[in-house]
Chains A and B, each alone.
Chain A
Amino acid sequence: MARARQKARPEGHKEKTKNVLITGVTTSIGRNLVTHLANDPQVGVLLGVARGEKPYYFNDIPPERFVYRQCDILKPRELKNLFLSKTFRETDINSVVHLAFQNRPVRGENTHRLNVEGTRDLLRKCLETPCIDKFVFKSSDVVYKLLPHNPAYLDENADLNFDPTADQWVKDRVDADMICRSFMDNVHVKIVILRMTNIIGRNIEGQFNSYFDSKPVIKTMGFNPLVNLLHMKDVIQAITLALMKNVHGIYNIGGLDTAPITTFADLNGSTVLSLPEPILAPVNWLQRKLGLTDYYYSVDKERQKYTALLDISKAQRVLGYKPKGRIEFSH
């Protein structure tokens, strides 16, 4: 019935009140998103879910705006109970933002399950739930295949990285992206995939954050590609726009700051060590063992060599996205 009541709206038209389920709400993006949406008059109620207990920092948000629920989306029973729960029904959830990922490229079955199976199960549940009409998936630019002859800007149609030798974490991100993409034609749930570039900021678990905090920053000798960095402010802006606008599809999301790796490392006050490519992996392994970095070189082998900036013109045109945040460096 809920579906029958929905009227077709032109793409780009703004939706009215949004009641949003946010998975992975305890991640830094989740936390910032909740803080932002809780002050947005177009948003009704936010239902945040994560595996752990409710963190203290959500205590300041009025309970009529934000409800926290403990849930492991990998457990079918818990996921089912979430969608059947009184909280879910009472909050009249109509949108989902999926942020529950292992953002650090750690190995293992749990990472794969969360990043791929978690996405698949959640999406399937959303497609089965009539009241949900929007699913926003935060993807990443690691899904793109990087080659030396790539154009400087990659648009949403660029080749994805299906390289069988790619790092498992990258393969998982590609799989999750593909799962969402394969349901893009669903008429009831509008699926939005946001492929974001490197997010940088305090308390953010991300490859490039770890990279620039490495001691020292190791770099492929003879290469110094441009990289683009994304401010948390713009991550939140993009997710909010994806939620509010009556759109679906894939959108690249990039930030304002673009420069070679060494420039950002300099600005961060990091020491850069250029090494021949064959020894980078063992040196990075040693750095991790010695606690000098959380960065995984194997994920970024190609990104250390070839420039691949995201073409955000589609997001600008359709979503109205406009990057505003400048990264502040210590130097």
Chain B
Amino acid sequence: MNKRQRKTALAIARRLMPPEEFDRVMSIEINDLGFGYDQFGMEKEMAVLSYAVARYVYLYWFRVESEGHENIPKTGSALIVPNHSGVVPVDAAMVGVDILQKAERPRIMRAVVDNFMGFLPWVNVFFNRVGQVVGARRNFQDLLSNGELCAVFPEGTRGIGKPFNRRYNLAKFAVGFVELSLANKTPIIPTAIVGAEEQAPMIGNLKPIARLLNFPYFPITLTFPWLGPIGLVPFPTKYHIAYGEPMEFYREYGPEVLDDPEKIRMLADKVQLVVQDMINHGLEKRTSIFGIGEN
């Protein structure tokens, strides 16, 4: 955006939220390379405007409730590790909005997104501008070295593209995040998102079309593709987000563990179990998918 567009973006954002919330969000800092962008293409004004819009989805569509914000560090690098689901990855956006809104200190969550996002016109630009980063190892490493709050979804696209009958059963976690956590002495914050699995129940996957379009999956849901792009709008399920206590494996394990694939796998499994437990706990507490009858 040029100067005029940035000014307009901030003016719109200011109108869309209360002044104290605007000031809070504006207090975020980016590692500006000189023209208002960081090395991954994030632009503060675009991130603030996107937040201003997404907070309505957060407040009025998914009616997000969350707990455990005290586990999110105020400074320094940390890895948010949630489950991932819902065909359209709005769960990540809701966690991002939640952290900006409710964490003790507002921080931008830098989600490490799947490689295929880089192919998608417009989507790739939007994702970069709001702080999302393509999941190359080097990017991840740079984010942690810069002391950023990162989110990684170790289930990857297997998580968001899983069928409805597998809801809330985590797909096997990838291990890269454990290695990076150990190498950078970064705490892992296990996070559970309850509610996203039902937002777009996936009943099928058109693999040939997915292959043709270079997508990881091509979903068939109750509404997509029958209603066209509108069919991708998720149902207004109620979200519950919980942040668990930080897991600091680097306090127990030295760098030599990085050369031990079995131990790394074991640590990834540990995180997966904690997240699964948190999900199960959230499901037990939940009274209704749509939050009917909840306060």
Contacts and interface: CB of A to CB of B under 8 A. Distances in A.
Interface of A: 147-153, 155, 220-226, 256-260, 263, 266, 306-307, 309
Nearest to B43: A260
B40 interface: yes
Nearest to A258: B33
B39 A258 contact: yes
Interface string B1-23: 01000000000000000000000
Q: Which of the listed residues A148, A224, A225 has the most CB atoms from chain B within 10 Å of its own CB?
A: A148
A220 B119 CA distance: 12
A226 B138 contact: no
B125 A222 contact: yes
B135 interface: yes
Closest 5 CB pairs of A and B: A222-B121, A148-B118, A151-B138, A149-B115, A259-B35
B134 interface: yes
B136 A223 contact: no
B124 A223 contact: yes
Contact of A224 (B40, B125, B135): B125
A279 to B, nearest CB: 14
Given A148-B119, A307-B41, A258 B139 contact: no
Contacts of B133: 152
Contacts of A149: 115, 118, 134-136
Contact of B37 (A221, A222, A259): A259
B142 interface: yes
A151 B139 contact: yes
Contacts of A307: 40-41, 128
A104 B34 CA distance: 29
B137 interface: yes
B125 A266 contact: no
Contacts, number: 72
Interface of B: 2, 33-37, 39-41, 115-122, 124-125, 128, 133-139, 142
Contacts of B121: 220-223
A259 B33 contact: yes
A153 B39 contact: yes
A176 to B, nearest CB: 26
Nearest to A226: B41
Given A152-B41, A260-B41, 14 more contacts: A147-B118, A148-B118, A148-B124, A148-B134, A151-B142, A152-B133, A152-B138, A153-B142, A222-B121, A222-B122, A222-B124, A226-B41, A259-B36, A260-B37
A309 B35 contact: no
A152 B127 CA distance: 14
A150 B128 CA distance: 13
B257 to A, nearest CB: 24
A237 B265 CA distance: 47
B126 to A, nearest CB: 10
A260 B46 CA distance: 14
B34 A257 contact: yes
Q: Which of the listed residues A153, A256, A306 has the most CB atoms from chain B within 10 Å of its own CB?
A: A153
A257 B39 CA distance: 11
A223 B120 CA distance: 9
A151 B137 contact: yes
A258 B40 CA distance: 10
Contact of A152 (B2, B36, B40, B116): B40
B251 to A, nearest CB: 29
Contacts of B138: 151-153, 155
Contacts of A221: 121
B152 to A, nearest CB: 15
B139 A223 contact: no
A259 B122 CA distance: 17
Given A221-B121, A226-B37, A257-B34, A266 B2 contact: yes
